[in-house]
Amino acid sequence: MLEISGLSKSYGPVHALSDVTFSVEPGKVTALLGENGAGKSTLVKILSGLVTPTAGAIRVNGAPVDLSSPERASRSGVAVVQQEISVLPNLSVAENFMLTQPSRWLRRGSAPALCAPYLNRLGLGHVDPGTAVGELTIGERQLVEIARMLSQDARVLVLDEPTAALADSDIELVHKAVLRLASEGNVVLYITHRLNELDEICDAAVILRNGRLADQFETKDASLTRIVHAMIGRELDELYPDTPARADQALPAPVVRLKDVVAGGLASPVSLDLRPGEIVAVCGQLGSGFVEPLRAIAGVSPLSGGAIEFQGATASNAKAEAVAYCSDDRQLDGFFRDLPVWESMSAPGLAQSGLWGLVRPSRLRQSVDAIAERMTILPAYRERPVHALSGGNAQKVSIGKWLSSKPRILLLEEPTRGVDVGARAEIYRLLRALADDGLAILFASTDLDEVLGFGERVLVFHDNKLVHQAPSAELTRDQLATWITHGSIDRE
């Protein structure tokens, strides 16, 4: 049993956690829920010995545990998957495994051989333990991080949004591993913003709001409405905005056109038209090539075949066409970590808001504030450096910054990763309104509900080929999942 009593943590005037008391039973999966900034990751960081609480106590099986450093936390039997990927890119997979408990790995001999079974369990059998982590995709890094947790022989396992960056098939493997850990009698605390995971693997839920305990229940007793209400303090009517009904020919000419494009790992050419006002989704398993159309348009993946036309003219310079591209690695290129939020958010629009090279900060602030408000970034957060923001709030900065530059083509990878359900509804509505004003949006997502709910048209990739495209209204979730995993659909 994990008991948390009177736990508080303040960062200066910010009360990230206030007098939180609850306990987590072993043998089942307990979800820890709450909107962005509610204090979930702060609790995780305390459990992993990274952050010292201002007050409170933590017991495991009735005895206080020493969480005064990550090493001690690990020795006390607490293993953690952090929200922001914490495996080190310059070290190999095996070396990253050793980092958590160096003495144990050295004593037991060859690290590569020892970590292989854990990699296998999460479908990473193809990854050589000698590979530098930096060469893996974000999804693979996330899986390495989870595999490393599995290797730790811990009694208390805490996973902070482990599936936020993963596709369904990987999520299934993670779920299996998590359920097994719980059935072995461990304490499992599981954080997610993908609320369908509650039904799938969680037995109980604890909800935080503004750093306080808001609710606690067995998931079988709770409706989604109650859960969402406890999280965001209000009911949520519609997550996705309506797609305007219109005939195909009603849309203007394409703003960008991919003609037989081969780029990145693509194994066959892809053609695609993107028109102003459209919101188009691309999806697939990790590594299936579904992000390549975005990267090709953005100029991140050089073309090895075909051509891209912007407004009919072949252009090599994406910037001139006002293309905004948000990669899936927000920590790497989503914002300036140490600058105030509003500065990160205004950077892409700098060139447009100046006159003769001079910029008026007050003018800049105004344009950013309007976007920040619609993206539910609280006024108090806008002065803080991004590194002091919660994961979901940092994600909002990462997308929001592009809107100040008034792009005509917006390319988003995993746009709402880690964003809570209430803020997601706002962001979808904002993006829909921008599209209605003529923005063309192409987004890549592993969240199939988002793909079908927010995309008007869906392109499915399998094994580096475009295998299917259809209006989202003509696809069920099951069909889409089948296309993604098999690259075809059984028509018998």
DSSP alpha helices (H): ranges in 390-475?
391-403, 421-436, 448-454
Looking at beta carbons, which residue is closest to Mg ion?
41
- Report residue 272 as tokens: 């695609």
- According to CB under 6 A, which one of 258, 294, 297, 389 is a site residue for ligand ATP? 389
Owner of token pair 């989870």: 146
Out of 83, 100, 464, 472, the residue judged to bind Mg ion by CB under 5 A = 83
Cβ 356 to ligand ATP shortest distance, Å: 37
User: Which residue number, 129 or 391, has a Cβ lying nearer to ligand ATP?
Assistant: 391
Position 376 contacts ligand ATP (CB under 6 A): no
Rounded to an integer, what distance in angstroms lies between the CA atom of residue 4 and that of residue 24?
A: 8
Report residue 44 as tokens: 């995780």
Q: How far is the CB of 66 from ligand ATP (least distance, A)?
A: 22
Q: Which of 1, 6, 11, 370 binds ligand ATP (CB under 6 A)?
A: 11
Site string for ligand ATP, 69-98 (x = CB under 6 A): --------------x---------------
Q: Decide: 50 and 80 in contact? Cβ < 8 Å.
A: no
| Of 78-86, 112-120, 371-379, 473-481: span binding Mg ion (CB under 5 A) | 78-86
> Cβ 107 to ligand ATP, closest distance in Å?
35
Name the strand (E) or helix (H) holding 294. helix 292-298
Q: Which stretch binds ligand ATP (CB under 6 A): 9-17, 225-233, 251-259, 315-323?
A: 9-17
- Asked if residue 40 binds ligand ATP (CB under 6 A), the reply is yes
Q: Are 414 and 399 in contact (CB under 8 A)?
A: no
Residue 80 DSSP SS3 = strand
User: Smallest Cα–Cα separation from 42: which of 72, 12, 87, 8?
Assistant: 8
- If binding is defined by CB under 6 A, does position 284 make contact with ligand ATP? no
Residue from 18, 39, 205, 422 touching ligand ATP (CB under 6 A): that is 39
Close Cβ partners of 356 (under 8 Å, ≥ 6 residues apart): none
Q: How far is the CB of 432 from ligand ATP (least distance, A)?
A: 23
Count the neighbouring beta carbons within 10 Å of the beta carbon of residue 406.
Answer: 15
User: Quick check: 405 binds ligand ATP (CB under 6 A)?
Assistant: no
Three-state SS for 37? coil
Please report, as a single letter, which amino acid is at residue 91: L
Which tokens in the block code for residue 85? 């990927």
Q: Which residues contact 489 (CB under 8 A, 6 or more apart)?
A: 468, 479, 482, 483
- Two structure tokens written together for 121: 């369990």
- # residues near ligand ATP by CB under 6 A: 20
H/E stretch holding 78 reads strand 78-81
**Distance in angstroms (rounded) separating the CA atoms of residues 25 and 257:** 55
Residue 37 touching ligand ATP (CB under 6 A)? yes
In angstroms, rounded to a whole number, what is the distance separating the alpha carbons of residues 373 and 243? 23
Binding-site partner at residue 14 among ligand ATP, Mg ion, none, CB < 5 to 8 Å by type: ligand ATP
Q: Which does 16 bind (CB under 5 to 8 A by kind): ligand ATP, Mg ion, none?
A: ligand ATP
Q: Which residues have CB under 8 Å from 178's CB, separation 6+?
A: 29, 157, 159, 162, 188, 190, 201
| Closest residue to ligand ATP: CB criterion | 392
By CB under 5 A, which span of 17-25, 104-112, 298-306, 386-394 interacts with Mg ion? 386-394
Give the contacts of 97 (CB within 8 A, at least 6 positions apart): 105, 111, 114, 115, 118, 129, 147, 148, 151
From the list Mg ion, ligand ATP, none, partner contacted by residue 422 (C-beta under 5 to 8 A by kind) = none
- Selection from ligand ATP, Mg ion, none that 37 binds (CB < 5 to 8 A by kind) is ligand ATP
Which stretches of 272-328 are DSSP H helices? 292-298
Q: Cβ-count burial of 302 within 10 angstroms (0-12 exposed, 13-18 middle, 19+ buried)?
A: exposed
Query: What length does the chain have?
Result: 492
Determine which residue in the list 289, 293, 391, 407 makes contact with Mg ion, applying CB under 5 A.
Answer: 391
Instruction: Choose between 40 and 424: whose C-beta lies nearer to Mg ion.
Output: 40
- Which CB atom, from 58 or from 111, has the smaller least distance to ligand ATP? 58
* Minimum gap (Å) between residue 361 Cβ and ligand ATP: 23
Q: Is-contact 296 263, C-beta < 8 A?
A: yes
Cβ proximity to ligand ATP, 39 vs 162, nearer residue:
39
Rule CB under 6 A: say whether 390 interacts with ligand ATP: yes
Single out the residue of 8, 30, 41, 288 in contact with Mg ion (rule: CB under 5 A): 41
Would you count residue 339 as binding ligand ATP (CB under 6 A)?
no
Q: Which single residue is written with the structure tokens 């693979």? A: 140
In the bound state with ligand ATP, the residue whose beta carbon lies nearer, of 166 and 297, is: 166
- Per CB under 5 A, contacts with Mg ion among 138-167 are none
Residues 413-432 that bind ligand ATP (CB under 6 A): 418, 420
348-to-6, 228, 294, 310 alpha-carbon distances in Å: 43, 34, 18, 20
Query: What strands, in cross-sheet order, belong to the sheet with 63-64?
Result: 14-24, 2-11, 55-60, 63-64
Q: How many residues lie near Mg ion (CB under 5 A)?
A: 5
Is 8 among the residues that bind ligand ATP (CB under 6 A)?
A: no
Identity of the residue, 161 or 292, whose beta carbon is nearer to ligand ATP in the bound complex:
161
Question: What is the contact surface with Mg ion in residues (CB under 5 A)?
Answer: 40-41, 83, 390-391
Question: What is the contact surface with ligand ATP in residues (CB under 6 A)?
Answer: 11, 14, 16, 34, 36-42, 83, 388-393, 418, 420
